[in-house]
Structure 1
Amino acid sequence: MSWFWIDHRPRLLSRSRLLLVLVPVFLFYWLCCYRFAATQANSLDGQVFSLQGRVLSQTCLTYGWRAVVRQPDGFRLMLYCPEEPGVGSKVSGAVQARRPRTRRNPGGFDEAAWLAEQGIFLVVEPLAGQTLRCEAAPLLAPARLVSSLRSSLRTALDRLLPPPEAGLLAALLLGDGSGLDQTTRIDFSLAGLAHLTAVSGLHLSCLQQPLNRLLRRRGLAAERRYALLICSLLVFALITGWRVSLVRAVAMTVASLLGRLLLRRTQPLYSLGVAVFLLLLHNPFAVLGSSFWMTTSATAAVICCSGPISERLARFGRWLPRSLAQAFAVVLSAQLGSIWWSVRLSKSFFLPGVFFNVAGGFLAALILWLGLALLLPAWLLLLAGVNISCLSWPAWVLCQLLRLLKGLAAWLARLPWGRLYACHLNFFWTAALVVLFCWLLIGLGVLPAPPQRIWRQRHRCFAGLLLAGFLLAGGFWLLGTPVRVWFLDVGQGDALILQDRYGHAILVDSGRDGQGLAVVRPALDALGIRCLDLAMITHGHQDHIGGLDELIDYGRVRQVLLAEGLAAAVERSRQEPGALDGDSAGLPDLLLVAEKAGVPVQSVRPRDTIALGRHIRMNVLAPPDDAIVRREAQRDGNAWSLILLADCAGTRFLLTGDCSKAAEQRLIRTEAWPRAHVLKVAHHGSGQTTSAEMLRQTQPVLAIIPVGANAYGHPANAVLERLDQAGCAVCRTDRQGAVRVDCRDGIIKIKAYQPLDDWDGTSPGSR
């Protein structure tokens, strides 16, 4: 077997001079583009100015629209507006500018990084009470024609299939993910199949191969056939949008077809170089995003590694057909090439996804071929005003294939094993994985074997690195923080995680609907928490329990706990509708979800103690299950709010949930408020609670207010004044993002995702 590197080394060395020239030129070009964009963004940040520009693309959101606007000087910005602007239209009006938001939670979405890879460094919104003026583009404008064509194709898919399957096919076929629900997106991401919904080389090959065969059967000459293929690829790229992976795939395919037209042999590696050059020329900021590096490294790995791997796998021809060996070699090569960026992006690596990508890719190819065969006639029939019921049978087959692919992703996403979390790796374990990675490549025939003297030492090297990694991990474990408490930013809601160094974790509340998947789940992955030992429900309002059913669905919760009186009220509500207030109507359904998933639900009462590991103990202070609380809870569900005192490695946290004024006064009258180092301010800083007397009894040194945009005036100025008078430092999740409190022997150390206002980060827990 001839080694790839030996075959290509002379050519690669001969091109190195050109590379030495192109790299400085690109760096100069990139710095000029970046300086222009950064200067414009800095000058407009926080300003109100008159926007004038043309809409390049738009996306429909749950509330309003998001559009990329290019100003006459070439500066791009992101526009959020309540009404559809229209692709190609000119927009003008007064807008408020701001810088994109950075990451606010562990593992959370980074708006600034996402926009930076598109060359966007500024976000604008219309002023309150004002609307933007939109001048529609001419009917024959290219941007409007492409947008209309894309919309008509999407309409044909919606008529052909039910909404969930139509949304998935639109993502696979057109690169339009607007029809995918949040659960489907996360399923494909966790299963390692997210690349199937990003239009790339797989989609182009599924378009090119049947079209090439059709044109060949028609007897067209090679020159005309290749020219038509190039035109079809460019039209497909226009319809689906010039995404990074698609630009790379189109450029490589066009380079290969042009080589055939010119009777020149093209090398895939050189085609990749041309594609990268054109991609960076089109969007130099693509290097700031993971998409560019993932598609480039995966393609390079396929070019360099798939041949030797398939040849090595072909030796098992009796059990493994050659076509399947080639498919597995391509998938394995792509996974090996993009593993670093995949782990960096998702904070974990899913090992079974490497093997199931073959099945997923095969299913996706069948869906793409059948979808392309149905989309064109369905679109033409709709344009002619003809009923498309004649396509119902093949559409049913396509629907079943889509459901099968969706079911595969859902099953893989919920597997309780096979996931490696990035936060568990240290330097030596990473080095051991690199050695194992090279060992695998040598065994598969991708890399030439080193001299025998060095090769004999591979076992000792690997074992030594593993041992050093264990020793380093043990040292970090002994010297590490015993307990960390995370107050997550879930907007106007509550969610906090208590995690000790032994791997135990407790979740107290889970935010609003959708926050379980959007905020809490990524945080668990970033923190290396596979499953929560306990999920506590302080009370039944949606801003505290909305995300818990999502976590239960993905198997991330072992046990659910709530107040004894609230559990009894849920049981009574099945016969007495008025036993729960209206805002707690979703709690019975949540407990049914837990019951069906086999997650036990337990209740606690005042003076109960919850112990987890060596460093976390929680005492239940309230509420009692008595007639007074039951009467209050019928008017205000906050009366059932759990009040907890958590002792975390000597640091006391007072977790008040949405404690009501009556509950606070009862504890004040009985002098039952304990002293605490950290206070979780009740009810997002409502003025009805957190009284001066309560602060006198608790004497906190730090108060954390979980709050988001709201119309209730939270946090109330009176509460902020009382906290200031009590000498208590304040952190707010709407300003600081997620707040982490490290606990060790009564000493607390504070870290936040956004700058702290008046806090030096450490404080002695002397009270």
Structure 2
Amino acid sequence: MKPDLRLWPTAASVWCSCAVVASALLSPVVALLAASLTSLAVAVGWRYRRGRIAPAVLLPLVALVLATGVAGLRVWAVSPDLLPEPGSAVTIEAVVDSDPRLVEGAGSSIVRGPPRTVTGITVHRITWEGGALSARLPASLWAPADAVGLLPGTSVTGYATVLPRKPGGDGTLSLSMRRVPTVLGEAPVWQRVAGNLRAGLRDATAGLPADGAALLPGLVLGDTSTLPDALADDMRTAGLAHLTAVSGANVSIVLGAALGLAALGRVRGRGRAVVAGVALIGFLILVRPSPSVVRATAMGSVVVLSLLTGGQRRGPPALAAASIVLLLVDPWLAVSAGFALSVAATAGLLIVAPQLRDGIAARAPWLPRSLAEALSITVSAQLVTAPVLVLIGASVGLGAVPANLLAELAVAPATLLGVAATLASAVSPALAHAVAVPAVLCAQWVAWVAHGVAATAPLLIPWPTGARGAALALMLLASGALTVKYRGPVRRAVSRVPRPVSAAVVAGVVVCGVALPRAGSEHWPPTGWVAVMCDVGQGDAIVLRIDADSAVVVDAGPEPARVDRCLSDLGISRVSALLLTHFHADHVEGVPGVLRGRAVGTVLVSPLAEPLDQAERVRAWCADAGVPVEVVSAGDSRQVGPVGWSVLWPTRIIRGEGSDSNNASLTALVVVEGVRLLLGGDLEPASQAAVMAVNGALTVDVVKVPHHGSLRQNPRFGPWSGARAALVSVGVDNGYGHPAPETLQSYESRGVGVWRTDHSGDIAVVATPAGVALLGRSGPGG
């Protein structure tokens, strides 16, 4: 039976219009005008050439205009022009949306800030000097640790400071409070009951295997508050991170169990719908109805609905309808990778999985149907989500499919037993503990799978990321689909090829897919390397070589897996010192990847511990690893083997001239085997001028262009360094416009060779008898 895809063009039209508005490519008014004119032009043209306009054409055009208008109103309501500027003092009245998450402080008293919590809230009224606004504004709230007891649904008020927004974000505010917000109204009874049940599950797992006990609340309730960083990293590497968030799979498992019990109880007709509805509402309350959970509930409900009412025929229209509703309610979902992954995975389950299952059953009738079903679901989900994962920079792992197949053996029983233990905690803690024992053992199995697959990280395919990688993945998927659809002609064409030629082609594919990537890694790093700028995407991570297995690392990039991969490829197992120029996420979120499996001597940080939440995360990671944290500033000089460095900046903290954290970046003059490098983090014009003023003349071989080559540069900084080569660490197709063409021109116009990680991958600085050379791992540079 062919899937019913008639509503999909309308859903695609709504998605595109919301994406244009939410990403601020066009203002809401201009976007609405463009959508109206486009729809009118298409309608007139269609009418002129073919007469009557078919509903299949008219509906997407109408949806395009209406969705643009609705999305425009939603985006306009949270326009920065209507809200207070970052740094403004405000008074808010809000409702807590999610459980506060505690961010522990650690380290010495000199660098440690107090523990903080972060939670999602909906602001109903916000007032500030010169303005006030009453609306439903989503926001994230940072507050003292004592706020950890606030339950979702609690009404609060208090004084806060507006934090800077993330570029290209979803329109949410970020607020920081110095004091615990004042409670205006308690959480509803059902939220208090849910809070007690969630705490009951955590209590029920006490004394059970550590990884399983920490993972079970995540598998069942999406509660990752007790999940160790090492396990979280392994779950991501193994392609299992989706299991630690409430997803459509959780909803499908719970609804399936409820409908199964209804069938055993001989409930028929509308009674089954009532049972499913009650189970769905109860589970939604238990896991907290946050936007991501509501999205997961919609996707899971679509899957169950399709199974109950018509499989491939009813499922795709339901998926399209659910997507349209969710996009109109929250237009920012159109630019959310999580939403794209949810829709893609659900589409794979509805359309691709049945085809795979039937194909497997036809060609391997000896295989149990349940195993064929599990294999088809896992493979289809991995295939259809691969382009999205590649687009956002994730690695394509050979271990993801077997990891998910192995984990699936335990996910359903862990979820159902976990829900049972949660409910039992309201009756008897002893009963809850007894039910939790097998649930934790199932979760422990998932943890073992994650650890085992993560240990095979070298099997990650070096697939290109960003738009190029996504386009290649789509081409391969399309080629595979066409081959399957026209398998008869393809089989006849292949049968005419001599077998020796076929064998040679297969061998060539194997060599290109397996041997060549490994051969490339064997030739990396190049002989004589003294420094490597790691390709960590939109962030910084630089490795300074001490000897064959030890190094000094400057910054850690935005993701643990990427810096871990870079260090592993270089053979680094010991890090004498890790310098973190400042605490922005694109420089420090990869710290767990540096700490993982390596002996780290000390971590040196900027004297400005801002943003506070990021600084606290770094200190917590270091405390867990037993690594001391030390604040350094201008005048600090050290020598570790052939690596020596002197900190040139900061001598003071510059406030109010751009980003305070960027301007407080540790700036170091590094000398390795006679090669001189200037590393300045994300210095902005004010701090670049200050560095030049306090340090006099300087000449280096290589300069790292500050702030990823952004437009915010002091035009004298590059010439002052005297460098003949410049490094830019930047992500492919990043949304910041980095590096700015004007910045590149300022270096290239003076004959300086510019090397970029988005073009060349990892970049090595090599000391040769003839001087300093640069070598890109995946392509040429300047």
Residue 656 in structure 1 maps to residue 645 in structure 2: yes
57, 75, 80: which one aligns with 2:142: 80
Q: Distance in 2 between matches of 1:453 and 1:261?
A: 37
- 1:530–1:333 CA distance, 2 compared to 1 (3 A): farther
- 1:496–1:520 CA distance, 2 compared to 1 (3 A): farther
Q: CA contact under 8 A between 1:484 and 1:498: conserved in structure 2?
A: yes
Moved more, 361-370 or 747-756: 747-756
Residue 70 in structure 1 maps to residue 126 in structure 2: no
Deviation (angstroms), 1:23:
3.0
277, 289, 294: which one aligns with 1:230: 277
1:124 aligned partner: 175
- 1:45–1:329 CA distance, 2 compared to 1 (3 A): same
1:404 aligned partner: 445
Deviation (angstroms), 1:149:
2.6
Q: List per-residue Cα deviations over 1:33-56 (Å, max 9, x = no partner).
A: 223322346653343333333333
72, 93, 104: which one aligns with 1:52: 93
Deviation (angstroms), 1:73:
1.6
Residue 26 in structure 1 maps to residue 67 in structure 2: yes
Deviation (angstroms), 1:521:
3.5
Q: Distance in 2 between matches of 1:311 and 1:39?
A: 52
Corresponding residue SS for 1:44: coil
Corresponding residue SS for 2:416: helix
Q: Distance in 2 between matches of 1:190 and 1:343?
A: 14
Q: CA contact under 8 A between 2:559 and 2:590: conserved in structure 1?
A: no
Residue 156 in structure 1 maps to residue 200 in structure 2: yes
Q: Distance in 1 between matches of 2:352 and 2:6?
A: 15
- 1:333–1:716 CA distance, 2 compared to 1 (3 A): closer
**Identity among equivalent pairs (%):** 18
The one-letter amino acid paired with 2:679 is I
631, 640, 643: which one aligns with 1:642: 640
Q: CA contact under 8 A between 2:705 and 2:728: conserved in structure 1?
A: no
Deviation (angstroms), 1:325:
0.5
Residue 198 in structure 1 maps to residue 245 in structure 2: yes
Q: List per-residue Cα deviations over 1:288-308 (Å, max 9, x = no partner).
A: 210111111111122111112
How is 1:579-618 mapped onto 2 (pairs within 5 angstroms)? none
2:378 aligned partner: 331
The one-letter amino acid paired with 2:152 is V
Deviation (angstroms), 1:282:
2.8
Q: Distance in 2 between matches of 1:707 and 1:745?
A: 18
Q: CA contact under 8 A between 2:230 and 2:596: conserved in structure 1?
A: no
The one-letter amino acid paired with 1:531 is D
How is 1:375-390 mapped onto 2 (pairs within 5 angstroms)? 375-381=422-428, 388-390=429-431
Q: Distance in 1 between matches of 2:314 and 2:496?
A: 34
- 1:43–1:761 CA distance, 2 compared to 1 (3 A): farther
Corresponding residue SS for 1:417: helix
Deviation (angstroms), 1:59:
2.4
Q: Distance in 1 between matches of 2:551 and 2:174?
A: 34
- 1:296–1:165 CA distance, 2 compared to 1 (3 A): same
Corresponding residue SS for 1:135: strand
Q: Distance in 1 between matches of 2:486 and 2:211?
A: 48
Aligned length: 598
Corresponding residue SS for 1:35: helix
Whose radius of gyration is greater, 1 or 2? Answer: 1
1:97 aligned partner: 162
How is 1:308-319 mapped onto 2 (pairs within 5 angstroms)? 308-319=355-366
Q: List per-residue Cα deviations over 1:639-697 (Å, max 9, x = no partner).
A: 8632746xxxxxxxxx516799xxxxxxxxxxxxxxxxxxxxxx9769xx98xxx99xx
Q: Distance in 2 between matches of 1:296 and 1:348?
A: 20
- 1:311–1:395 CA distance, 2 compared to 1 (3 A): same
- 1:418–1:24 CA distance, 2 compared to 1 (3 A): farther
Q: CA contact under 8 A between 1:51 and 1:95: conserved in structure 2?
A: yes
668, 682, 704: which one aligns with 2:679: 704
Moved more, 88-97 or 337-346: 88-97
Q: Distance in 2 between matches of 1:330 and 1:392?
A: 32
* Ranges in structure 1 where 5+ consecutive residues have no aligned partner: 103-111, 382-387, 564-584, 591-637, 646-654, 661-682, 709-714
Residue 180 in structure 1 maps to residue 221 in structure 2: no
1:374 aligned partner: 421
1:674 aligned partner: none
Q: CA contact under 8 A between 2:348 and 2:384: conserved in structure 1?
A: yes
Q: List per-residue Cα deviations over 1:141-183 (Å, max 9, x = no partner).
A: xx53343233212221122113643431111111222221211
**Alignment TM-score, normalising by the size of structure 2:** 0.62
- 1:239–1:722 CA distance, 2 compared to 1 (3 A): same
Residue 532 in structure 1 maps to residue 570 in structure 2: yes
Q: Distance in 2 between matches of 1:425 and 1:752?
A: 12
Q: Distance in 2 between matches of 1:125 and 1:259?
A: 44
Q: CA contact under 8 A between 1:188 and 1:194: conserved in structure 2?
A: yes
Q: CA contact under 8 A between 1:251 and 1:271: conserved in structure 2?
A: no
1:566 aligned partner: none
Q: Distance in 1 between matches of 2:303 and 2:600?
A: 61
- 1:659–1:705 CA distance, 2 compared to 1 (3 A): closer
- 1:60–1:552 CA distance, 2 compared to 1 (3 A): closer
- 1:417–1:133 CA distance, 2 compared to 1 (3 A): closer
- 1:303–1:505 CA distance, 2 compared to 1 (3 A): farther
Corresponding residue SS for 1:236: helix
Corresponding residue SS for 1:192: coil
How is 1:241-320 mapped onto 2 (pairs within 5 angstroms)? 241-242=288-289, 246-251=293-298, 267-320=314-367
Deviation (angstroms), 1:230:
0.9
Residue 440 in structure 1 maps to residue 480 in structure 2: yes
Deviation (angstroms), 1:253:
5.8
Q: CA contact under 8 A between 2:96 and 2:154: conserved in structure 1?
A: yes
How is 1:465-484 mapped onto 2 (pairs within 5 angstroms)? none
177, 183, 186: which one aligns with 1:135: 183
Corresponding residue SS for 2:91: strand
**Alignment TM-score, normalising by the size of structure 1:** 0.63
1:627 aligned partner: none
Q: CA contact under 8 A between 1:297 and 1:337: conserved in structure 2?
A: yes
Corresponding residue SS for 1:100: coil
Residue 496 in structure 1 maps to residue 542 in structure 2: yes
Greater RCO structure (CA 8 Å; 6+ sep): 2
Deviation (angstroms), 1:92:
3.5
Deviation (angstroms), 1:101:
4.0
Q: CA contact under 8 A between 1:347 and 1:423: conserved in structure 2?
A: no
The one-letter amino acid paired with 2:390 is V
The one-letter amino acid paired with 1:65 is T
The one-letter amino acid paired with 1:66 is V
- 1:543–1:407 CA distance, 2 compared to 1 (3 A): farther
- 1:725–1:198 CA distance, 2 compared to 1 (3 A): same
Q: List per-residue Cα deviations over 1:50-70 (Å, max 9, x = no partner).
A: 333333334223131223232
Q: CA contact under 8 A between 1:226 and 1:261: conserved in structure 2?
A: no
The one-letter amino acid paired with 1:171 is G
Q: CA contact under 8 A between 1:172 and 1:198: conserved in structure 2?
A: yes
Q: Distance in 2 between matches of 1:751 and 1:263?
A: 51
- 1:293–1:450 CA distance, 2 compared to 1 (3 A): farther
Deviation (angstroms), 1:91:
3.6
Corresponding residue SS for 2:179: coil
Corresponding residue SS for 1:45: coil
Corresponding residue SS for 1:380: coil
Q: CA contact under 8 A between 1:196 and 1:361: conserved in structure 2?
A: no
Deviation (angstroms), 1:241:
3.1
Q: CA contact under 8 A between 1:172 and 1:368: conserved in structure 2?
A: yes
The one-letter amino acid paired with 2:695 is L
Q: Distance in 1 between matches of 2:496 and 2:560?
A: 41
Deviation (angstroms), 1:203:
1.2
